[in-house]
Amino acid sequence: MRKALLFLLSATFGLVAGGLTLPAMAGSIFMVDKINVDMSGQSASVAREMALSNGQKQALDIVLRRLTLRDEWPLLPNLEDVAVDDLVEGFRVSNEKTGNKRYLATLSVQFKPTAIRALLRARGTSVTEVQSRPVLLVPVLENQDGLQAWGEHWWRESWNQRDLDNVPAPMTLPLGDIDDSTLLSAEDALIGHPLKLDALNQRYDTETVVVAHALADVTGRLGVSVYIFAPNESDVIIRTYSGAQSLQEMADTAIDDVMDELNHRWKQVAAVTSDEMGTRQLRLEFTDLKSWQRQLGKLDAADLIRQLKIVEMTAAYAYVDIAHIGTQAQLMGNLQQVGLRLEPLADSWRVIEAQAY
C-alpha cells in the first residue's frame, strides 16, 4: 500500500479492517476495463498472444491519455518504444471465444501506478490521479418511438459498454428499475425537475445528475445534448453528428466526445504538475478508538497524501505530519472527497469530519 503506516498502526492498536468504513470510491484511475480484442493468426494460440499484447498496448494508450491534459498528449511516448509488460501489474480476461485461427475476448488491465507516474514525469507531463465525485448518468433517447429514459434502448446500452468507473470524472448508471422510473420520467430529466433529481441523487448517493439526451431523427442525424445539473449550477454540452456512419457509430463517437470533455474539465482542476511534496501538520481530535481509526483511514484514502507520521498522541487528539503532492487547494479538495475538511490553526490544521457519526 501507498501508506504502510496505516497497517502498522492497525497492528499496533489491534484494529481490524471490518471496523473501518471508508468513503465509496468509483474505481481505479490506473485500471482500464472493457477492452475488446479480436485477432486472427496462424493458429488460435498465436491469435491469442497477439490479441493480449495489442489489448494491453491499447489499454496503455488509454491510461496515459486519461491521466494527462489534452495539450500534453503530443508529449506522450510512442508505444512502440515502450516496454508495456514492465508497466502492467496484472490483467483479467473475460468473454473468451476461440476459433480455428481467431481469438476474441474482453480485457481489464491494471497498471503499476509508480511506473506509470515515472513514465509520465520523464516526459514532462502533469498527472491526474484523483477522481472527481461520481455523477449520476441518465441517458435519454428520443426517436420515432418517442422519449425513453428507462428500459432497454441502444443509447443506454452504448453507455453501459463503456468503462465509466476508472476515469477522472466517473459516472454511475442508475439501475433503471421501477423505482427509478417512478422517481424520474424522461420529461422530468430533460427539464431538470429539481425535486425529482434530488430524489434520484439521494437514492444513489450522488450530488450531480448528467442527462445525456440523444435525438435520432429520420434523416440519420444524431443530435446530442448533455445537461449537467449540479447542486449550485447547471451547464450543457451540445454536439451534432451526421454522415455515412450508422447511428451506433455516431453514438460511440458522441460518447467518446462527451466523456473526453467531462474528464478534461476535471483534469484542468485536479492535474498535479510535479511529484515534489509539501508537508503539513494536522491535528486529529477524537472521542474513542473508532473515531480515531475512521479519520486515519480517510487520510489513507486521500490520493494526494504520500506519507503519514504520528508525532504526538493523547487520549483525545493526535498530531500527524503528512507529505503530499499537489497544491493546498487540491489537497483540501481531495480531503473533502473522502469526508474531511481542514480548519487553520496557529501552527497546524485541524481535521474535521464532514459527516457526523
Closest CA relative to residue 68, chosen from 264, 233, 326, 293: 264
Q: What's the whole-number mean pLDDT along residues 273-298?
A: 89
**CA distance linking residue 255 with residue 271, whole number of Å:** 23
Flag the least confident range among 22-36, 60-74, 289-303. Answer: 22-36
Q: State the cell numbers at 246.
A: 450508422
**CA distance linking residue 263 with residue 256, whole number of Å:** 10
**CA distance linking residue 93 with residue 108, whole number of Å:** 7
For residue 334, the model assigns a pLDDT of: 87
What is the b/e burial string over 114-153, where b = at least 16 CB atoms within 10 angstroms of the residue's CB? eebbebbeeeebbbbbbbbbbbbbbbbbbbeeeebbbeeb
- CATH pick for 31-122 out of 3.10.129.140, 1.20.1070.10, 3.40.50.1100, 1.10.760.10: 3.10.129.140
Q: What's the whole-number mean pLDDT along residues 5-28?
A: 38
- Provide the 10 A C-beta neighbour count for residue 345: 11
For residue 188, the model assigns a pLDDT of: 96
**CA distance linking residue 126 with residue 121, whole number of Å:** 7
pLDDT in tens, 251-270: 999 999 999 999 999 999 88
For residue 356, the model assigns a pLDDT of: 53
Closest CA relative to residue 58, chosen from 76, 32, 77: 32
**CA distance linking residue 91 with residue 66, whole number of Å:** 18
**CA distance linking residue 50 with residue 38, whole number of Å:** 9
Q: State the cell numbers at 13.
A: 492498536
pLDDT of 6 > 80? The answer is no
Given a contact cutoff of 8 angstroms between Cβ atoms, the answer to whether 188 and 173 are in contact is no
**CA distance linking residue 340 with residue 344, whole number of Å:** 13
Please state whether beta strands 135-143 and 171-172 pair in parallel, antiparallel, or not at all (unpaired): parallel
Given a contact cutoff of 8 angstroms between Cβ atoms, the answer to whether 331 and 353 are in contact is no
**CA distance linking residue 259 with residue 3, whole number of Å:** 31
pLDDT in tens, 141-164: 999 989 999 988 999 999 999 999
Q: What is residue 161's DSSP assignment?
A: T
Provide the sign of the torsion angle of the four alpha carbons 264, 268, 270, 276, taken in this order: positive
- Domain boundaries along the sequence of the chain: 5-25+273-353, 31-122, 135-270
For residue 158, the model assigns a pLDDT of: 95
Confidence of residue 25 (pLDDT cuts 50, 70, 90): very low
φ, ψ at 276 (rounded to 5°)? -65, 130
pLDDT in tens, 179-235: 999 999 999 999 999 999 999 999 999 999 999 999 998 888 999 999 999 988 889
Q: State the cell numbers at 30.
A: 490506473
Any idea which fold 135-270 has? Rossmann fold (3.40.50)
pTM of the model: 0.77
Q: What's the whole-number mean pLDDT along residues 242-247?
A: 87
Q: Apex CA 21: angle with CA 167 and CA 301, to 5°? A: 45
Q: What's the whole-number mean pLDDT along residues 335-347?
A: 88
Mean pLDDT, the chain, integer: 87
Closest CA relative to residue 23, chosen from 286, 271, 299: 299
For residue 355, the model assigns a pLDDT of: 67
Q: State the cell numbers at 153.
A: 434502448
pLDDT in tens, 94-145: 999 998 889 999 999 999 999 999 999 999 999 998 899 899 999 999 999 8
Residue range 5-25+273-353 in CATH 3.30.70? yes
